[in-house]
Copies of this chain bind each other. A is one copy, B any other.
Amino acid sequence: MFLARVVGNVVSTRKNEKLTGAKLLVVEPVDFEKLKGQGKQLIAIDSVGAGEDEVVLVVQGSSARLTETTQDSPVDATIIAIVDTVDIADRQTYSKS
């Protein structure tokens, strides 16, 4: 899983029927020290009620289908957690609150 920030969303009316009602969020991978963007943005399905600017965990591959929201859906990236804190080498580098 990688750490990411929700930065936007995509709307589509003509899409696979299993995606009906799904939130298509744009996520930007971030590093664990400064929470700065690194790498390409991608689209992930929200399964935990994540919102813009939140720091989240994204799972990829076939495991992206193992949530109630995404079961049997043609998706390869899903947000599975909203992050409260990140600790690196016993130092807190991020806190949601």
The number of chain A residues with a CB under 8 A from chain B is: 60
How many copies of this chain are found per oligomer? 5
A87 and B88 CA atoms in complex are apart in Å by 28
Q: Which of B11, B52, B65 touches A90 (beta carbons < 8 Å)?
A: B52
Task: Report B-chain residues with C-beta under 8 Å of the C-beta of A42.
Answer: 1-2
Chain B residues positioned under 8 Å from A82 (CB to CB): 12, 14-15
Contact A10–B18 (Cβ < 8 Å): no
Which residue of the partner chain, among B11, B76, B84, contacts A11 with CB atoms under 8 Å? B84
CA of A45 to CA of B8, assembled, Å: 26
The answer for the CA separation of A77 and B60 in the assembled complex, in Å, is 10
Taking a contact as CB atoms closer than 8 A, the residue among B3, B8, B87 that contacts A43 in the complex is: B3
